[in-house]
Amino acid sequence: MAVNWAERICSFSRSPSRYLCESTAEVFLSELLRELRDDRATFTVKVLLLFPLCEQPTLLCSTNAVGEETALELMSVFAQCPAKSVQFRSHLLLALTSVLVCTSCVNQHSQASQDFLELLLQITQDTSDLHGDGTLRCLRAVACDCLRELEACCPTLLSQHLELLSGLWHRESTSLHQAYAGLKTLVLRNCVYQLSQDPGAGAEHLKALLGVNASVAWEAEQESGLGGNKDSAILCTLIMSPMGTMPILQTGPDCKELRSVLSSLLEESYLLTPLCQTALLHRLIEVVAMVPGVSPSIFRAQLLRLLGTSEACLFHSTLLMKLAFTDSLFSADDEAFILKRLVILSQHPLLSTPEKLFYMDCILHFPENRPISCGDVDESLPVLLTPRLASTLVPTVFNDCITMLARLNLLSLIYLEEAEEGEEGKGVAYLYGHLTALLNIVENGGSRELVVTFFRAAFLFLLYFGHMERYSNSMIEKLSELYRCHSYLALHVIDLADQTLSHLSESNWAVGLLRAMQQVITEAPLAQLTLQDLHCHLKLLARVAEEGDIVQHSTLSFLSRILTQPSLSLCERSNWRQGNAVLGVCRRLLVHPSLDSLLIPLANTLQHLTFYYGDTDIQDHARLYYTLLTTLSREKLAGVLAQGVSKGRHQVKQRSLSAIMTDSDGLTSVLTIHQTETPILKLVEWIDSDPQGGEQTHQKGEQANSPLLEIYRAQFKDPSFASEIPLDYHLTHTQAHHVCFDQLFSIRLHFELTDHHYEELCDISVPCLFKKQPAPVVKLRLKPRWPFPTTIHASAIFTTQDGLSWYSLLPDIHVTFQQVLLPLPSPPSWGAAGRLSVFEGLWEEICCVSSKEDGNKYATSLFCCQLDVENLAAWVEKHFLRFLITDPSYEEEFKVLLFLPPQSHVLLKIKSGEDVVHFSIATENWQLLPHINTFLLTLTSLQEINDI
C-alpha cells in the first residue's frame, strides 16, 4: 500500500493537471481522505498523503464548500490521531491551514475556520511537556506558524487575542519565544492600522484592544470593523518618505499601554535572530508611525546596537527608521555617521559582492533628514556625500564588472556636480582615464564580459559627461581606432549609438560616432579586408545609411569597390549572406534624404549586382530595386518601401503590406497573421429536432438463440464500433464584431483539449461564413478515453474580404455529462426484448461482481428524490425516452440504459415508493457515480418538476 501511494503522489507532484486527467479531483480527494482515516495505513504514508493538500489545495478543493468539508474531515483525523504522532499532527495542521486559506474559508468566517482557530489556540497554550522531551514544543511551533499565516492572509483575525498572545510570549522560555514575538507584533500592527481607518477611533479603542482576552468572537469583530478587512494596504508596507502620507490614529498623549508593549518587545528583540529582528522592527516602526502619541525616541536605546551591526537586514531596518522619522530620531551627527558607515561597508573586503552593491544602492537612495530633491528622481546623492568621502569608491580595473559599473555610476553622479559648476577637476579626468584603461584591455583581447562592461561604462560616462566635448570627441577617436583593429565590435558600436541617441536626443554625439565609423570603413585598404570584416562593415554601414545627416557618397564608393575587388571575388563566390548585406545598405539608401545626388552611383551598384552576382535571389532583389529607383519618383518610392520612417534623426521600422526589403522582413510582413482583440466567432450547440434513431422502438423482435450479452460485447472487438460521440454546432458570429468580418473565407477551426479524457481532435475546415446567410454546421466527433465532462479550447484562422489573414479565439466549448450519454448500440433487429435481455445480463453481472471486494470498478448505488408519482411516467419519458429499455406505459418500474463510449454503461431502475422515487444505479465504472449523482440532481430539481 505504501509503495503504491508513493508512486501515485510522485506522479501527481510531477504534473497535477495531467494526473487528474485520468480521474477527477473529487475522486482523488475522496481517496486521500479515505486513506487518511484508515487505521491500517502507517503514519509515514499518511504524511505523504497530505502533500497534495498542502501544495495544490485549490486544485483539489474547487469551491469553498468542498474546502470546508475537507477541513472538517482533516480535523476529525487530527482528533483521532494519537498524541505521540507529532510529525503527522504537524503536517495535518499545515494542510488544514493551506486548505482553509486557499479556499477563502478564513475570509468568510466559516464554522470550520472557527473550529480550527480554537484548535490552534488550544495547542499553543498546552505547556504540559514543559519539562519533558520537547516533542509537543514542535507541534506548538507549527501551530504558531499556522496562526501567523492566518493573520497574514486575513488581517485582524486574532485581534481579540492580543492579551493571550502577550501572556504566551512572556511565559515562554524556549525557542518559541521568538515565534510568539513575531506573531504578537504582526497582530498589533494590523489592529492599529485597522483602527487608524476608523475616523471615530481613539485612545479608548486602543486601550480596549490591548486589554481584550476573549474567545473567538466573529460577530464582535464584524461589528467593530476588525474582521474581513479588504484593504490591500494592510498587506503591504506602510513606511513612506516624509513627503508621503501615512494613516494616523489620533490617541493624544495617553498611550502608556502601547508604549509599555512596544518597550517590552524592543528590550528583548536582541534575543531574536537577525531576520526575525528585522521583521519585528519593521512592524514596530509602522505602529509608531501610525500613532503620533508614541515618540520615535522609543527606538533610541536600540540605535547603538543597530548602527554597529554587521547584518545587512538590520542595517536596512535602521534606514527604514530614518526614512520614517528623519530628524525626530536621528541627529545630524547620526546622519553623517550612517553615511560614513555605508561608504565603508560598500568597499569592505570581507563582504560579498551582493552585500557591497546593496550598501552602494543605499547611498543612492539615502533617506536624508532634510532632503533637497522632491523625491521624483530615481537616484540622487545625499548632501553630505562629498568627493573626498567617496574617493575610496573610485572604480578600478581590478573590480568585478558589476561593482565597477556601480562605482562608476556613483562617482559620475558626484563629479557631475563639479562639472555643472564649471570645475573640471581630477574626478572626471580619473573616470575617463579608467574608461581608457578598459578600452586598452578590450583592444588587447579582453573577454566578452569585459567588452560588454566597457561599452556599458562608455554609455554611463556619456550619459553624465557627454556635453563635455573634450571627452566626447576623444572617445569617438578612441572607438574608431578600436573598431579599426576589431571589426567584430560592430554590433556593440551600433547598440551604443542607438542607446545614446535614445537617451541623449539633443546630442549629436551618436551621429558623430557613426560618421567616424563610416570613415574608418571606407578608407580601409581592401587588400587586407576579409569576408568576416566585410560582413561587420556592411552591418555598420547599413546603420550609418539610416542617418539623414550623414553624406553617403563614400559608402556607395565602398560598395562599388568591394564588388569589383578581385581579391574578394564577391560576385563569383555567390554568397547569399554577403549579397543580402550589400542589398541591406542599398535598400536604406533608397529612402535617404539625399537620394537625388546618389541616383547614378546607386543605380550602377544595383545594375552590377543584377548582371554579375552569382545568386539568383540577390539578382532578383537588385533588379527590383533598380526598377523602383529608375521608374518611381522619390515620394512614390518612399511610399512603396514604407519601411524606414524618419523620427528625429533615427529611422524607425514600421510594417507595411507593400514593404519590400531584404532579410525576409517584407515577406514576413505580407504573411503576417493578425490577431483579433475579442472573439469574432462562436460555436452554438445545434440539437436536431428529429434525430435519426433518437427514439427506441419497443416492438418485439426476434431473439437470438445464443446469449445476447456475449453477442453485444463481441461488437466491441472492432475498435471503431460506437467509439465516437457526435456533437453538432452552428458556427456563427458573436454579437460585437466589426463589419470587416461580415464575410469570412477559408476558415480553419483548431481544437485543443484541456485534459486527456478524449483523443485529439482534427482541425475542421469551413469554406465560408456570411453574416446574412444560414450558419454552417460544424460536426465534432469526440472519441473518449474516459467518458467524463470536459472543456475544449477553440480557435480559428480565416481570411477576410480584403485578403488579410486573422487569428481569433473562440469561447470555450463545455461538453457536459448529458452530452456524453448515448442509447444502447444494439442491432435494430433485436427489438425491445433483445435490449431488455442485455440490460438484465449487465445488471446481474454488475451486482454480482460489485459485491466482491477485489478492487474491481463495478459499483451499485441508490439515489432517492421526491417526485410527483402521478407524473413520473411523463417525467421519465421527457428525459429518458431515448434510453428506455421497457415500454413507457409500464409504470411499475422503468429500466433505463445509458451507454458511454468507449465501453461504459449506466443502468437505472426507476421505481416509485411511498414518499420518494428510487433510482437504483449499476455501472462498471464507479468513477461515473459523482457525475450521475449531479446529473440526476439537475433533472429532479424543483424547476424541472414544475416544468412538467
Enter the pTM of the model: 0.67
Report the DSSP beta bridge partners of residue 865: 917
Q: Residue 704, class by beta-carbon neighbours within 10 Å (0-12 exposed, 13-18 middle, 19+ buried)?
A: middle
Highest mean pLDDT (candidates 471-485, 554-568, 658-672, 695-709): 471-485
**Sequence-separated (6 or more) residues with CB below 8 Å from residue 784:** 723, 725, 757, 758, 759, 820, 900, 901, 902
Tell me: pLDDT of 656 over 90: no
**Sequence-separated (6 or more) residues with CB below 8 Å from residue 830:** 701, 702, 703, 704, 708
Of the candidates 109, 106, 177, the residue with the CA atom closest to the CA atom of residue 147: 106
150-207 confidence digits (pLDDT tens): 999 999 899 888 888 888 888 888 888 899 999 999 999 999 998 888 888 877 888 8
Question: Residue 732: in which H helix or E strand, if any?
Answer: strand 725-733
Which residue is listed with cell 537620394? 595
Instruction: Give residue 658's pLDDT.
Output: 36
Mean pLDDT, rounded, for 10-34: 86
Report the DSSP beta bridge partners of residue 752: 793
Tell me: pLDDT of 796 over 90: yes
Instruction: Give residue 828's pLDDT.
Output: 80
582-630 confidence digits (pLDDT tens): 999 999 999 999 998 999 999 999 999 999 998 888 999 999 999 989 8
Angle between helices 203-211 and 256-267 (to 10 degrees): 50
Of the candidates 882, 862, 839, the residue with the CA atom closest to the CA atom of residue 932: 862
Mean pLDDT, rounded, for 672-700: 70
**Sequence-separated (6 or more) residues with CB below 8 Å from residue 914:** none
Instruction: Give residue 474's pLDDT.
Output: 95
Average the pLDDT over each of 333-337, 443-447, 828-832 and give the range with the smallest value.
828-832
Tell me how far apart the alpha carbons of residues 191 and 613 are, in angstroms, rounded to a whole number: 80
Tell me: pLDDT of 865 over 50: yes
Of the candidates 48, 51, 150, the residue with the CA atom closest to the CA atom of residue 102: 150
More confident residue, 286 or 886: 286
Query: Which residue type does 512 have?
Result: G
Q: Can the peptide bond before residue 823 be classed as cis, meaning omega within 30 degrees of 0?
A: no
Tell me: pLDDT of 64 over 60: yes
Pairing of strands 859-865, 681-685: unpaired
Residue 856 CB-half CA count within 13 A:
15
Count the neighbouring beta carbons within 10 Å of the beta carbon of residue 876: 22
> How sure is the predictor about 561, in pLDDT bands with cuts at 50, 70 and 90?
very high
Residues of the chain with pLDDT > 90: what percent? Answer: 45
Tell me how far apart the alpha carbons of residues 640 and 636 are, in angstroms, rounded to a whole number: 6
Tell me: pLDDT of 704 over 60: no
Instruction: Give residue 221's pLDDT.
Output: 44
Instruction: Give residue 671's pLDDT.
Output: 52
Instruction: Give residue 377's pLDDT.
Output: 52
Q: Please, are residues 353 and 403 in contact by the beta-carbon 8 Å criterion?
A: yes
Mean pLDDT, rounded, for 305-329: 92
Angle between helices 469-485 and 448-465 (to 10 degrees): 160
Query: Which residue type does 132 have?
Result: G
Q: Please, are residues 236 and 205 in contact by the beta-carbon 8 Å criterion?
A: no
Of the candidates 329, 320, 322, 266, the residue with the CA atom closest to the CA atom of residue 297: 329
Strand runs (DSSP E) across 789-935, as ranges?
Answer: 790-800, 805-815, 859-865, 894-900, 904-912, 917-923
Average the pLDDT over each of 423-432, 506-515, 757-766, 781-790 and give the range with the smallest value.
423-432
Tell me: pLDDT of 317 over 80: yes
Tell me how far apart the alpha carbons of residues 880 and 875 are, in angstroms, rounded to a whole number: 8
C-alpha distances in angstroms, 110 versus 76, 214, 580, 642, 863? 16, 19, 70, 64, 29
* Residue 335 phi, psi dihedral angles, 5° rounding: -65, -45
In the chain, what is the straight-line distance between the N-terminal and C-terminal CA atoms, in Å?
Answer: 51
378-411 confidence digits (pLDDT tens): 677 888 998 899 999 999 999 999 999 999 999 9
733-751 confidence digits (pLDDT tens): 988 777 888 899 989 999 9
Tell me how far apart the alpha carbons of residues 191 and 206 are, in angstroms, rounded to a whole number: 9
Mean pLDDT, rounded, for 841-851: 84
Tell me how far apart the alpha carbons of residues 178 and 487 are, in angstroms, rounded to a whole number: 62
Tell me: pLDDT of 885 over 80: yes
Instruction: Return the HEC string of 899-937.
Output: EECCCEEEEEEEEECCCCEEEEEEECCHHHHHHHHHHHH
Tell me how far apart the alpha carbons of residues 210 and 187 are, in angstroms, rounded to a whole number: 11
Instruction: Give residue 456's pLDDT.
Output: 96
Mean pLDDT, rounded, for 352-374: 87
